[in-house]
Amino acid sequence: MDTKQRVSDLETILSEYITQNTLAQRRFEAESKQFREEMLAFREEMLAFREAIQRDTQALKDEMRAFKDEMRAFKDEMRDFKDEMNAFKDRVELNIKENNKQWGALANKLGTIVEDLIFPASRPVIESVFGVALQHLSMRVVRRKENLREEFDVVAYSEKQVFLIEVKSTPRFDYLSDFVDRKTDIFRQLFPEYASLTLVPIFASISVSDDFVPAATNRRVFVMAYREWEYMDILNAKEILSQS
């Protein structure tokens, strides 16, 4: 092959190379442009997503702040409600005490202290304090035997004990002495059927003075009265029972 022919072939090869290279460059530029556009679109999407996240996060923060404020307000309302309920409870307890005082005063005035207050409370108080089940409970029990006669305000008995309750609207020390020294002895004489039972003397009233309870305790007599005007109870049960 002569030189002219070889030059011609080289020119042809070079021309094809240039053509192919040009096409490849254009294809690369086109793909690069498309990639940049896609990346730009992706960046815009990410920015939009970030802004959406920020908006949602702020909205959530606002909602949580509002919820927190609502819960704080609710807590304040509950505290106020609790204070109101405590105040109402105090008023109710005060009214109960005042009603008990008024009822006690009225019962004393009308002379119905046994029927209205002491007798209805006797069973639950005795059974609760002494841990027994009463088999019988009577009010205003009168017993005669030859020339001996006596009336007892409340008499109750369980399996092993007989409870004798003396009721006075105005407790006095001479009433206490008469109850211990005379009336319990007469009870034993008039009720020989209870000889095997332990006699439990109880002095009952609406209220008693502070010095009356220790005096009764020294005579081993239980005192039943209102405890702080809330409920009827044996005021010196712990002191006497602890000596047994």
Domain boundaries, the chain: 1-110, 112-241
Give residue-wise pLDDT tens across range 183-242. 999 999 999 999 999 999 999 998 888 899 999 999 999 999 988 777 889 999 999 888
CA 183 to chain centre: 46
**Those residues with Cβ within 8 angstroms of residue 107's Cβ, 6 or more apart along the chain or in another chain:** 113, 116, 117, 169, 206
Please name the residue ranges forming H helices in 111-196.
113, 119-130, 173-178, 184-190
CA-angle at 38, arms to 33 and 39, nearest 5°: 100
| CATH fold label, 112-241 | Trna Endonuclease; Chain: A, domain 1 (3.40.1350)
Interior/surface letters 97-126, b for 16+ CB within 10 angstroms, e for the rest: eeebeeebeebbeeeebbebbbbebbeebb
pTM above 0.85, yes or no: no
DSSP helix/strand/coil, 116:
helix
